[in-house]
A and B are shown apart, each in its own frame.
Chain A
Amino acid sequence: MHRFKLLGALLALSAAPTLALAQKSPYADYQRMAAENAPTELFELAGEELWKKKQGPKNASLERCDLGQGPGVLKGAYAALPRYFADAGRVMDLETRLLYCMETLQGRSREEATKRAFGNANQGSEFELLSAYIARFSNGMKITPSLSQPKERESYELGRALFYHRVGPWDFSCATCHGVEGKRIRMSELPKLDDPKYAGPLMATWPAYRVSTSKIVTLQWRMNDCFRQMRTPEPAFGSETTVALIHFMTATAGGETYRGPAIKR
């Protein structure tokens, strides 16, 4: 990922005022303490078991899954996603890639594997638990989603266009809530996600343990739930739409140091 070193450094500089900004939040102490004392590790442990568990028609584990750094390589994999995968012929984020591996390595059908894409407090989904486990291996590393391939630039541009696209009965776009600085929905602060200053700290902390629902939440879930609140129909798990939005926001956060899995309200 050396080709983005300079870019990363530049973006890191522009993200520097973020710390001071975070300290201004009345919840800064709460968020720091809750993060230190979050039960995230429990979910990572469950994710590790799933990574190594043989299942599906091929009775195979995911241990040979190539997340972009070679088969089975977890270190730094999450921080370098989304990216283009030649074998699949498309850009994928972590969850979409995991689904691809479930289909190819384990021989599972897309329908079966995504039947329960999002879990609940009693039982997290495979994608949620695996995400928590895999993301940990990128902790402390710079976020460097790839943008060198034409398909990657296409995905980024699609995500950017989607971000501002107003649609649905209430005329919302992502930018309606996440395109202006310093706004809140109720008491929740809204990060301006087309700005590295806000996208950096935000994207650096997904996936996360969500305190209000006692489970790991992932970016695919976040996209799904934002569209729900935008009152649109439902996007398919791992679709071009959700991956493109994740790609756009992750690229905007590029250069930030990944510090998840973290906690969310």
Chain B
Amino acid sequence: MEIRRRNLLKAAATAGALLVAGLLRPVAALAAWSKEAFGAKNLADAMKSLGATGAAPSAEIAIEAPQIAENGSVVPIEITSKLAGTTAIAVLIEKNPFPLAGKFNFSEGALPYAKLNVKMGETSEIRVIAWAGGKAYSAHQEVKVTIGGCGG
């Protein structure tokens, strides 16, 4: 394994630390980031920005997540779409301040599958949207979040 560290942009980032995040956008904009969808504060707005309003429920989308999570700061989820020709999958956590957690576009050569850890502020539905043949489909699963600890 080889690790390469590229800090070319770090100097710019440091210099810009006092500036609002928006000014750094041009750098990030080199790669697309759906600012509007990620900035949406509720599920409906996020779905709208993603062009997924009215997504049809589908049993072909599998969500594997624990029913109860001991700690909301790390909730493992595994998502798979069995819809033929799936081009993208998005994960939304309905009760989070910003529901959209991630969106993955798959090209020829990748399977429509992703496994990741997400943060959940409270018990919430996890909604997964998959796009196939230009249409959006959706599935959801609830994850209960326990925030325990002794306070010590």
Report which A residues bind B (CB closer than 8 A): 26-27, 29-31, 33-34, 36-37, 185-188, 211-212, 214, 228-229, 265
Contact = CB atoms under 8 A, between A and B. Distances in A.
21 contacts: A27-B69, A29-B68, A30-B66, A30-B68, A30-B75, A30-B76, A33-B64, A33-B65, A33-B66, A34-B74, A34-B76, A37-B76, A186-B150, A187-B70, A187-B148, A188-B148, A188-B149, A212-B73, A212-B149, A229-B152, A265-B71
Nearest to B146: A187
B152 A30 contact: no
Contacts of A186: 148-150
B150 A212 contact: no
Contact of A212 (B65, B71, B75, B76): B71
Contacts of A187: 70, 146, 148-149
A226 to B, nearest CB: 10
Closest 9 CB pairs of A and B: A187-B148, A30-B66, A33-B76, A29-B66, A211-B74, A37-B76, A27-B70, A186-B148, A211-B71
Contact of B73 (A30, A33, A36, A211): A211
A30 B149 contact: no
Q: What is the interface of chain B mostly: helix, strand, loop, or mixed? A: loop
Interface residues of B, number: 21
Interface string B12-34: 00000000000000000000000
Nearest to B117: A37
A190 to B, nearest CB: 11
Interface of B: 64-71, 73-76, 78, 115-117, 146, 148-150, 152
A36 B76 contact: yes
Given A30-B69, A187-B70, A211-B73, 15 more contacts: A26-B67, A26-B68, A29-B66, A30-B75, A33-B66, A33-B76, A37-B76, A185-B150, A187-B146, A187-B149, A188-B148, A188-B149, A188-B150, A265-B71, A265-B148
A104 B145 CA distance: 48
Contacts of B117: 34, 37
Nearest to A32: B66
Contacts of A36: 76
Contacts of B71: 211-212, 265
Nearest to A231: B152
A74 B117 CA distance: 31
A228 to B, nearest CB: 8
A229 B150 CA distance: 9
Most chain B CB neighbours (cut-off 10 Å) among A29, A185, A228:
A29
Contacts, number: 56
Contacts of B148: 186-188, 265
B75 to A, nearest CB: 8
Contacts of A30: 66, 68-70, 75-76
Contacts of A33: 64-66, 76, 78
Contacts of A265: 70-71, 148
Contacts of B70: 27, 30-31, 34, 187, 211, 265
A27 B65 CA distance: 12
A26 B143 CA distance: 12
A31 B64 CA distance: 13
A172 B69 CA distance: 30
A47 to B, nearest CB: 16
Contacts of B146: 187
A214 B119 CA distance: 12
A186 to B, nearest CB: 5
A30 B143 CA distance: 10
A212 B72 CA distance: 9
Nearest to A29: B66
Contacts of B115: 37
A31 B66 CA distance: 9
